[in-house]
């Protein structure tokens, strides 16, 4: 008789699927697992408890998507983990309706995620996945340098992290930091600092929210930089929103890879920009403050790229490049809000070596979000929020989470557990 092929794995919990990360992407998948199958899924997240972009939860910030686009409803509106059910179970329904929000507070969405996670069996917080290996025909999840679970399929839902400006790398951390750290830095600043110029670099929604937070805190000289000619807002027209539906994703999936990439590039302004109304809120707050003090506390500086900076005479000296000039701007602090980059995926090098990449070195992800790799016939690696140029701009936001989760689930189980249909559309994409 032969022994176990991997005795060090004996006794570990074995799941049908394991997910790295318990953000909305993997939570949506786990929710559909729960209602659509009898198979098990476990999620591992490094956060100590349920949370969602907590560094960016300034007072009053709102979602960019409708509350109907929750973890489950667009695929399964009768699911017990719908946002509506969350409101009813927590006694908030009438108050929320009567508050007449156009879009709900981000904090409410975070609470909803925490509530949903709490209703699932195997969401493990405080578990940073160091590495995933593939041994004896299964994925092995390691945390704290120890194997903690094995699974037949793996789902990567590690999301994004703030991008940093390499040119500011030499500045002390307390003088230049990313937007996600602003809430932690503010209590360390003095009343005197509020009159010191503060640069916010990056003209997107996060930059705007940082400017508003600084205004709220009483800062009187906020300088807001963006490299584009003006601060762009999201195109929220009906036809722009038609890009965020399954019929458009299916249209894209029928095109060649280069064409998909080109179309997705052209669509960025439908999703990655300021929420309509955000600029009005900022203009009005700036005007209100000017009425009191006689000066605008916020100066908008479009068409300026901040390329670097250094500490000079105790001040942050920023190198600023515009269409025809190169200048140095002196500020006290620099808040960096230039977007987000993919969080590294902790796969063992031997596993990475078995994954196919295209000619640009990008991992090949299919229409079912499965990564092309040697063992894919039996063991799937699914990548969420990693294939925008293949599966459309919806891949990196919340609008079609349940549709993507249903697609992954159907692929893993090799049958149609959930039907995704979107046939009644007035638009014929071409
Ligand atoms: C401030 C902000 C607001 C946004 N608002 C909207 C919106 O209103 N509408 C919209 O459509 N989109 C929005 N987005 C874009 C996008 O939908 C969100 O970023 C969304 O959270 C992506 O979900 P995710 O699950 O893929 O990733 P994340 O939410 O980033 O979750 C990833 C999780 O993985 C965990 N993780 C990472 N690495 C490891 C590891 N090695 N081990 C264990 N755990 C790990 C992280 O702790 C995290 O909890 C917003 C983005 C930001 C930054």
Q: What's the pLDDT tens digit per position in 308-328? A: 999 999 999 999 999 999 999
Which of 26, 52, 53, 276 is the best mutation target for the ligand 1 pocket, counting ligand atoms within 8 Å of the beta carbon and taking the most?
A: 53
How far apart (Å, rounded) are the C-alpha atoms in residues 172 and 94? Answer: 48
pLDDT digits (tens, 9 = 90+) for 84-115: 999 999 999 999 999 999 999 999 999 999 99
Report CA-CA distances (Å) from 314 to 164, 173, 209, 279: 22, 14, 27, 33
- CA trace torsion 191, 192, 197, 200 (10° rounding): -30
Quick one: what percent of the chain has pLDDT higher than 70?
Answer: 99
Domain boundaries 162-233+272-340, corresponding CATH code: 3.50.50.60
pTM confidence score: 0.96
Residue 6 exposed, middle or buried by CB count within 10 Å (0-12, 13-18, 19+): middle
Which of 127, 156, 158 is the best mutation target for the ligand 1 pocket, counting ligand atoms within 8 Å of the beta carbon and taking the most?
A: 158
Q: Residue 143 CA: which ligand 1 atom is closest?
A: 42
Question: What is 7-159+343-413's CATH superfamily?
Answer: FAD/NAD(P)-binding domain (3.50.50.60)
CATH 3.50.50.60 range(s) for the chain read 7-159+343-413, 162-233+272-340
pLDDT digits (tens, 9 = 90+) for 34-86: 999 999 999 999 999 999 999 999 988 999 999 999 999 999 999 999 999 99
**Residue ranges of the chain whose pLDDT lies below 50:** 1
Task: Look at ligand 1, atom 29, and give the residue with the nearest C-alpha.
Answer: 23
| Lining residues, ligand 1, CB within 6 Å | 20-26, 44-47, 52-53, 56, 63-65, 128-129, 157-160, 343, 346, 384-385, 397-399
Q: Are 387 and 395 spatial neighbours (Cβ–Cβ below 8 Å)?
A: yes
Q: Are 29 and 405 spatial neighbours (Cβ–Cβ below 8 Å)?
A: yes
């Amino acid at each position: 008789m032969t022994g176990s092929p991997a005795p060090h794995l004996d006794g570990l919990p074995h799941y049908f699927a394991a997910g790295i990360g318990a953000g909305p992407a993997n939570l949506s998948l786990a929710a559909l697992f729960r209602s659509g199958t009898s198979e098990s899924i476990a999620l591992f997240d490094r956060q100590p408890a349920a949370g969602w972009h907590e560094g960016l939860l300034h007072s009053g910030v709102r979602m960019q998507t409708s509350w109907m686009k929750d973890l489950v409803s667009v695929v399964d509106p009768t699911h017990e983990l719908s946002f509506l059910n969350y409101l009813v179970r927590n006694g908030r329904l009438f108050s929320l309706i009567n508050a007449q929000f156009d879009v709900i507070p981000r904090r409410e969405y975070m609470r909803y995620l925490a509530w949903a996670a709490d209703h699932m069996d195997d969401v493990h917080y405080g578990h940073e996945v160091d590495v995933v290996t593939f041994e004896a025909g299964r994925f092995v999840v390691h945390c704290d340098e120890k194997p903690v679970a094995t699974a037949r399929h793996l789902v990567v839902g590690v999301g994004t992290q703030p991008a940093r400006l390499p040119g500011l790398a030499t500045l002390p951390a307390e003088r230049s930091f990313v937007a996600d750290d602003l809430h932690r830095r503010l209590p360390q600043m003095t009343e005197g600092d509020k009159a010191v110029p503060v640069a916010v670099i990056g003209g997107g929604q996060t930059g705007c929210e940082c400017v508003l937070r600084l205004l709220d805190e009483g800062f009187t000289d906020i300088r807001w930089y963006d490299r584009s000619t003006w601060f762009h807002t999201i195109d929220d027209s009906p036809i722009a929103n038609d890009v965020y539906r399954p019929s458009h994703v299916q249209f894209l999936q029928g095109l060649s890879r280069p064409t998909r990439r080109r179309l997705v590039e052209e669509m960025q302004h439908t999703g990655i920009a300021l929420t309509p109304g955000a600029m009005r809120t900022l203009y009005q707050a700036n005007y209100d403050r000017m009425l009191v003090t006689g000066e605008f506390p916020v100066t908008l500086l479009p068409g300026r790229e901040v390329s670097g900076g250094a500490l000079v005479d105790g001040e942050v000296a920023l190198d600023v490049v515009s269409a025809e000039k190169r200048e140095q701007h002196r500020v006290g602090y620099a808040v960096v809000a230039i977007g987000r980059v993919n969080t590294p995926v902790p796969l063992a090098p031997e596993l990475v070596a078995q994954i196919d990449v295209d000619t640009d070195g990008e991992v090949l992800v299919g229409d079912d979000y499965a990564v092309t790799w040697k063992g894919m016939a039996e063991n799937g690696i699914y990548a969420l929020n990693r294939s925008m140029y293949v599966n459309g701009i919806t891949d990196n936001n919340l609008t079609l989470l349940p549709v993507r989760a249903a697609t992954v689930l159907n692929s893993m189980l090799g049958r149609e557990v959930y039907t995704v249909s979107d046939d009644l559309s007035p638009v014929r994409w071409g």
